[in-house]
Structure 1
Amino acid sequence: MLTQRITPDGLAYRDLNGNSRLDPYEDPRLDVDERVSDLIGRLSLPEKIGLMFHTVIEAGADGSVLAGPGAISKSGTAEVVTSKLLNHFNVHHLGEPRAAARWYNAVQALAETTPHGIPVTISSDPRHSFAENAGASFSAGSFSQWPEMLGLAALRDPGLVRRFADTARREYLAVGIRAALHPTLDLATEPRWARQAQTFGQDPALVAELGTAYIEGMQGPCLGRDSVACTAKHFPGGGAVKDGEDSHFPYGAEAVYPSGSQEAHLSPFPAAIAAGVSAVMPYYSKPIGLTLRGIEADEVGFGYNRAIITDLLRGELGFGGVVLSDWELVNDNHVGDQVLPARAWGVEDLDPAGRMQLLLEAGCDQLGGEECVEILAGLVADGRVSEARIDESVGRLLRVKFELGLFDDPYVDEEKAAEVLGERASHAEGLRAQSASVTVLKGSLPVTAGRVYVEGLDRAAASRLGEVVDRPEDADVAVIRLQAPFEPRDDLFLESWFHQGSLDFPPGLAWRLARIARHCRLVLDVFLDRPAVVTGLLEVADVLVADYGTSDEALVDALTGEVEAVGRLPFDLPRSMDDVRAHPEDRVGIEDPLFPAGFRAS
């Protein structure tokens, strides 16, 4: 860790380049523009290039810095920091709070050995709820646990969303996470889409309102030393994917707009820009027949799409922040014996250099999931990308680091990290939000029972409902937890984590549940990470509730009435898969839903 130097007039500063004098970029008294301008003029081309990549590194469970590649990361941390000169990193799994903070501090110390000591920015996908998906989100672990964003949408409370985001901000700061690769502002209009759990549902106005509250809670009124910089995604709306297939994968490459509802999908983003969101991430999809605000998009992935990024986002909407591409648009990703093809939809015929050039020409500032600095150096050497173009993006990226205060004090307190992440009030509010977000679809709460039979519910938690018995024949009430159905897939890397395909429960389930219902009252809970077809369940359930990420304890709190379940559906529930297939992917709302968005049984 660098020792602070003191100027003759008593100013403490960090001598980041080791020249024993205070340079303008090291001077905390100067405004950000001066510091950015000074540093850009000092940087070598390799240092500038390193700023334009944002890849994954992994933390050792004990807080150690990994020497070599990990399960996800392509290179060892020292290599990407000191040789490739990268300083933006996405982290996946973290150990307990002290270890996470220790790891972060060690990475910052490593960054101090680079020529100008540019501090590291650590980013994260959502990590405060339940869904575990290496391509989208992580379960809470040591962080306070809340419902998925769908659950916050079910509560329809901007104040709660703002408090949640403020809690997440404090917990992120404690372990050194300074950039959030969220909120997700996509509309959940296509019932089969795998990424709805992290959205605020299908209603454009609600998504805009809650997304703005989220940014305010994370960033504050402007970026500062206590902020976490947000990335709004996926511009200009990623939910209208053909047949509900996700654009991580070749079969989900296309975004389609059969009902002409493209403006609805765009509408949350102007609100996020007005709230000062730090960065915007375009999605992988290539739009088919898309025109927005009179701007016609090319049929190439949004990250490659100059009409979308430069003309629409920068020009029409006036966004001046960072544009971060989604992950791995340049190179295929090989992990073990699996591969995930580069999401170069519409430009598959280009080589990696051609793809990178097109991304920069479109207006991307930073390349997510990549560390191939040699390709960008080659593009500059060949005259295909100018250093002036690189300086544009470098200026935006450095501005965020300065605004966050990373150049002046990037370190965290390892002991305080454990205190912040262990705050009982935060965990209690998260637990209460889980319970409150539960949505009653049929019947009423509370549930009372002398004897209870359970499936998918911890017996200790269930004992608060009544005496737990082993057979439905001996029970007064059966409580069974279900997961919204999906089709397991595992040919491509990441595929197994994505819940895709049919929303129908298997045909034998209703028959088996009916047998249980012949012996006792039947209470069903369905985790809705997607809008399942629950039509068959209605016929056998006495009480049917939905949750969006709820622990066993939180569910029992809702079922017993200890916390009132006030959640309302954040999206329509379809009657059948035939209705899903007939529904235009982009249209907000199913024509004749079984239960409409906003529904809650009275």
Structure 2
Amino acid sequence: MLLGIGGLWLTLKLQSWSNLSDLGERAGILEIDGLTFRDLNKNGELDPYEDRRVPIDERVDDLLRQMTLEEKAGVMFINFTSVSSDGELSEGLDFFDPTTLLLAPNSELLVAKHMNSFSLIATVDDPTAFASWQNALQKAAERTRLGIPVTLATDPRHGVATGGGIALPSGAFSKWPDPIGLAATRDAELVREFADIVRQEYRAVGLRLALHPSADLATEPRWARVAATFGEDAALSAELTAAYVRGLQGEKLDARGVAAMVKHFSGGGPQADGEDAHFEYGKEQVYPGDNFDYHLIPFEDGAFPAGAAQVMPYYGIPIGQTDEDVGFSFNRSIVTSLLREHYGFDGVICTDWGLISDNELLGIYTILPARAWGVEDLTPRERMLKLIDAGVDQFGGEQIPELLVELVRSGDVPEARLDESVRRILRDKFRLGLFDDPYVDAEAAQQVVGSDAFVAAGIEAQRRSLVLLKNRDGEGGSPLPLIGRPRLYIENIDPDVAAKFGELVATPEEADFAIIRTSAPYEPRNGLFESLVHAGALDFPEPEKRRLTEIAGKVPLILDIYLDRPAVFPEIAQSSAAVIGSFGANDEVLLDLIFGRFTPSGRLPFELPSSMQAVEAQFEDVPHDSRNPLYPFGYGLSFDIPKAG
């Protein structure tokens, strides 16, 4: 086995050496009219695409004329790549980083595949090292034939929690509620401020494309991605989506911004039985309430008016909504007829990840099959053809530009079709200023990422996102806010934090109050990726339901439920003295609310159903339609803070 690992390591090192040896020199500097320009193609002349004074469309056209077929094909792919921890290129097997078993070395994608768009899953714990790696990658890109810079993209990574697998760990970034928690604040200006802070922190380390926000509507409460949305109400989602896009991009995307890829067109929420479309058993989106158009509102009234640069269709099949039941990205009626022609969207359309080929470990073991829903029987070549015909520009989670080259050389796809998509992708690179200066100040990144001001803003948002659902004990009194230093029995709370507020005891019987943090229930699924998804029933299993109600019978229970999805808990709510719904808030923020250090103001961004029977009877595509909800959409209590003295 060690011999095999050693052989793999040597193979990757030789491959890396070969790729890097194919790179040319770094771009020289041209001085013209008192200005400096980068000579990206190293010809000693200032080409239009190198001249920031030339209109962007002319720069794009000039670059396109100089590109080979292979270079054009590479632009149309975006996939994960690995990140080094030492600021250098990530070029092989790192025994301390298992992701290098799954992700290609930087030079393999950049040089051999001609790719220059990458998504990242690495946690940014050291902003300086990450920014240094970004600079090293951009230096390598500068040494390619035409010096096309890299666009680095990321899924959300600012959450206190990770929302059942819907976001990446926040690392050194400031920490905020999930998007569903931002929706609980009902404050578009706060959402714009959040996105602007995301913009500043991303740019500090070189991230220039946000694979968010999600404009999906959480009309199906069992869906695993509820936490990534702004809830089930289309008008609220549209308002907050627009604010989010403007916070990232500004009023017009330029070198100061981060491009927003809004997802998932035309709305990924109405999943059959709430199952997730990453998996074959969740590939169907259904519309029993005939409410397809409702899910377009966050795009038509939010993302599009705000000028979203890019859009991602979802995995699922919109059953019965178009002339063929195939996944959104394969569906010409969705991509071309609706998105391009009806809405006039001329930005980049990128598929969700892995629609063409299986995800494999070392090219041997399939860990996740292609999400080619509705076209499972097609070959990878045929799937790519169908995606191109549907009208997409970029293939997410794929690194097979050689297959696209083959399609052109065989005459199945005209090269002019590639030009259409490459033009859109390059246009965003120019708008973001990457051709003029793709580098960042690695030392300054440490001061920007997680700055005191940004951390404080995140904590304030956590406070404003909390929803007080109940504040009534069995005798009709309101237990919150607590006063003094009561004896506290706690669960899932940092004892060092709780000790600042009261005296900790070991059992409920010894306590004046029990404060317990828990999460919305879900049904664990088998499988490496399935196990990361929170799906299935929303009610607490009987042992846990009984345990919590028994505790509430012994001592006044203050219950906090992390609502990455709606929860069903009528019996627990009835027995509790106070109930709080949270969407990503640290322990101190929660205890600050409980002890009256601020006034709760959050409002539910979705209904909390009264039973699983009500959940199963509601329509997947219709908002606010569960019968007799325990707590309705928009519900939230408050209290007055007692005056000192």
- Report if TM-score (shorter chain) is over 0.5: yes
Q: 2:307 aligns with which of 253, 276, 280?
A: 276
Tell me how far 1:297 sits from its aligned partner. 4.5
Q: Deviations over 1:291-329 (max 9, x none)?
A: xxxxx3521000000000100001011101000000000
- Aligned partners of 2:637 and 2:597: how far apart in 1? 18
Q: 1:16 aligns with which of 14, 37, 40?
A: 40
| Structure 2 counterpart of 1:201 | 231
| 3-state SS of paired residue (2:371) | coil
Tell me how far 1:75 sits from its aligned partner. 1.4
Tell me how far 1:2 sits from its aligned partner. 4.2
| Structure 2 counterpart of 1:549 | 584
- Aligned partners of 1:352 and 1:447: how far apart in 2? 61
* Matching of residues 216-231 of structure 1 within 5 Å: 216-231=246-261
* Matching of residues 262-341 of structure 1 within 5 Å: 262-271=292-301, 272-290=303-321, 296-335=322-361, 339-341=367-369
Q: Give the unaligned 5+ runs of structure 1.
A: 291-295
| Structure 2 counterpart of 1:476 | 512
Q: Deviations over 1:524-548 (max 9, x none)?
A: 0000000010212112210111100
Structure 1 runs of 4+ with >6 Å offset: none
- Aligned partners of 2:182 and 2:481: how far apart in 1? 22
- Aligned partners of 1:131 and 1:358: how far apart in 2? 38
Structure 1 pair 165/8, CA: closer, same or farther in 2 (3 Å)? closer
- Aligned partners of 1:466 and 1:8: how far apart in 2? 69
Q: 2:617 aligns with which of 582, 596, 600?
A: 582
Contact 2:161 2:177 in 1 (8 A): no
Tell me how far 1:135 sits from its aligned partner. 6.4
Q: 1:95 aligns with which of 125, 129, 134?
A: 125
| Structure 1 counterpart of 2:390 | 362
| 3-state SS of paired residue (2:554) | coil
Q: 1:33 aligns with which of 57, 62, 65?
A: 57
Do structure 1's residue 591 and structure 2's residue 627 form an aligned pair? Answer: yes
Tell me how far 1:564 sits from its aligned partner. 2.1
Do structure 1's residue 517 and structure 2's residue 577 form an aligned pair? Answer: no
- Aligned partners of 1:586 and 1:190: how far apart in 2? 7
Q: 1:375 aligns with which of 398, 403, 410?
A: 403
Structure 1 counterpart of 2:114, which letter? Answer: L
- Output the aligned Cα RMSD: 1.6
- Aligned partners of 1:268 and 1:133: how far apart in 2? 21
Structure 2 counterpart of 1:358, which letter? Answer: K
Tell me how far 1:432 sits from its aligned partner. 1.5
More deviation, 397-406/372-381: 372-381
Q: Deviations over 1:481-521 (max 9, x none)?
A: 00111111232x42121101111111112322233223321
* Matching of residues 105-184 of structure 1 within 5 Å: 105-132=135-162, 136-184=166-214
| 3-state SS of paired residue (1:319) | coil
Structure 1 counterpart of 2:395, which letter? Answer: L
- Aligned partners of 2:571 and 2:360: how far apart in 1? 41
- Aligned partners of 1:451 and 1:36: how far apart in 2? 67
Q: TM-score, normalised by structure 2?
A: 0.90
| Structure 2 counterpart of 1:46 | 70
Q: 2:266 aligns with which of 212, 236, 245?
A: 236
Tell me how far 1:381 sits from its aligned partner. 1.3
- Aligned partners of 2:292 and 2:71: how far apart in 1? 39
Tell me how far 1:141 sits from its aligned partner. 1.2
Q: TM-score, normalised by structure 1?
A: 0.96
Q: 2:533 aligns with which of 498, 502, 516?
A: 498
Identical aligned residues as a percent: 49
| 3-state SS of paired residue (1:7) | strand
- Aligned partners of 1:248 and 1:182: how far apart in 2? 17
Q: Give the unaligned 5+ runs of structure 2.
A: 1-24, 472-477, 639-645
Q: 1:533 aligns with which of 549, 561, 568?
A: 568
| 3-state SS of paired residue (2:99) | coil
| Structure 1 counterpart of 2:377 | 349
More deviation, 66-75/14-23: 66-75
Do structure 1's residue 424 and structure 2's residue 452 form an aligned pair? Answer: yes
Tell me how far 1:386 sits from its aligned partner. 0.9
Structure 1 pair 57/356, CA: closer, same or farther in 2 (3 Å)? same
| 3-state SS of paired residue (1:389) | helix
| 3-state SS of paired residue (1:361) | helix
Tell me how far 1:4 sits from its aligned partner. 5.2
Structure 2 counterpart of 1:460, which letter? Answer: D
| Structure 2 counterpart of 1:293 | none
Structure 1 pair 297/128, CA: closer, same or farther in 2 (3 Å)? farther
Structure 1 counterpart of 2:387, which letter? Answer: L
Contact 1:284 1:326 in 2 (8 A): yes
Do structure 1's residue 440 and structure 2's residue 471 form an aligned pair? Answer: no
| Structure 1 counterpart of 2:489 | 453
Tell me how far 1:563 sits from its aligned partner. 2.6
Tell me how far 1:583 sits from its aligned partner. 1.0
Tell me how far 1:3 sits from its aligned partner. 5.9
Contact 1:61 1:95 in 2 (8 A): no
Contact 1:278 1:321 in 2 (8 A): yes
Q: Deviations over 1:458-494 (max 9, x none)?
A: 1111123211111211110110000111111232x42
Contact 2:82 2:103 in 1 (8 A): no
| Structure 1 counterpart of 2:109 | 80
Structure 1 pair 8/522, CA: closer, same or farther in 2 (3 Å)? closer
Structure 1 pair 334/134, CA: closer, same or farther in 2 (3 Å)? farther
Contact 1:330 1:356 in 2 (8 A): yes
Structure 1 pair 135/33, CA: closer, same or farther in 2 (3 Å)? farther
